Amino acid sequence: MYPRRILEEKLLHLLAEDVGQGDVTTSAVVPSKCKAEANVIAKSDGVVAGIEETVTLAEALGLNVDCFVDDGVKIKENQVLIKLTGKAATILTAERTMLNLLSRMSGIATATRTLNEKINKAKLKTRIAATRKSAPGLLYFDKKAVIIGGGDPHRLHLDDMILIKDNHIAVAGNITEAVKRARQNASFSKKIEVEVTTAEDALKVAELGVDIVMLDNFSPQEIKELMKHWKKKGFCGIMTEASGGITSKNILEFAATGVDVISMGELTHSVEALDISLEIVKTV
């Protein structure tokens, strides 16, 4: 989503952190004129994400890139994803930064896709969404991986949408006051979402005219109950989002309630990296 040159800057910045004052191993062991060919290889099955980032960084460093997969594609163990050709020293110095990003993004995409397929198989329509519970500094990459996995990024950051949570309500005094202020002060270009902990509050804020209601720590049963009132009241243009206590085990119960969105912090705060490695296959 970034223009390529802006993406390049971000990636070079990440590489620079890892390089420090220079890759002393490669300097000592690899002659600067030596050329090599290397494969980026999946070491387990999953959904790949971070291909655009890997290609962009490799090309920015002067490597030639043959890319065999697109972001979002399912990959198999031992599948070659990308072939890099060029200065051996460049490949070796950038190896870890490329793999770290690719593995993390693929891990996120894989987890998201798995949940999505579960829901699709059950013929349900609920969207899986990420939250802002991410690794600091990696919001952009984490959210992009969620999108590639078929999820919804939710707010990209704090300037994105009005999302009134428990702490905002605590400061505003009560939920009605908080929503009133939001409707008065927010730009017309922003949606307004409110987090509620009771069905009563859910109905109250729906009446006040918000765009989305986040049902925090509701059980599937409580949500089903609420959905009945929702239809009766004609709130169907107002979206609902379930959040809290949702796992891959119980996700179908939540999805079956008819809630529009299910958001899960663990998609980005507790990532299991997909195992991907790089192998030098030829030197010249």
> What DSSP line would sit under 256-269, residue for residue?
TTT-SEEE-THHHH
Contact positions with a copy of itself (CB under 8 A) in 235-264: 237, 239, 260-261
The answer to whether 133 is a known catalytic residue is yes
HSE (CB half, 13 Å, CA atoms) of 66?
8
Binder of a copy of itself out of 145, 182, 223, 255 (CB under 8 A): 182
Of 10, 35, 118, 133, which residue is the catalytic one? 133
Cβ distance to a copy of itself smaller for residue 217 or 221:
217
The answer to whether 125 is a known catalytic residue is no
d(C-alpha 267, C-alpha 139), whole Å? 12
d(C-alpha 281, C-alpha 284), whole Å? 10
d(C-alpha 95, C-alpha 54), whole Å? 10
Of 96, 118, 181, 191, which residue is the catalytic one? 96
* CA-closest candidate to residue 229, choices 254, 211, 204: 204
The answer to whether 160 is a known catalytic residue is no
Q: Is 234 in the site for a copy of itself (CB under 8 A)?
A: no
Map residue 65 onto helix, strand or coil. Answer: strand
Cβ distance to a copy of itself smaller for residue 26 or 197:
26
The answer to whether 155 is a known catalytic residue is no
Contact positions with a copy of itself (CB under 8 A) in 44-63: 60-62
Binder of a copy of itself out of 5, 76, 121, 123 (CB under 8 A): 5
Of 165, 183, 228, 233, which residue is the catalytic one? 165
* 208 contacts 180 by C-beta, under 8 angstroms: yes
The answer to whether 9 is a known catalytic residue is no
Contact positions with a copy of itself (CB under 8 A) in 73-132: 88, 90-97, 99-101, 103-104, 107, 127, 129, 132
Q: How would you classify residue 10: left for phi > 0, otherwise alpha for psi between -120 and 50, otherwise beta?
A: alpha
- Torsion sign over Cα 110, 112, 117, 122: positive
Binder of a copy of itself out of 135, 229, 233, 250 (CB under 8 A): 135
Of 23, 95, 142, 216, which residue is the catalytic one? 216
The H-or-E segment that residue 68 falls in is none
Contact positions with a copy of itself (CB under 8 A) in 140-159: 140, 143, 152-159
**Residues annotated as part of the active site:** 96, 133, 165, 195, 216
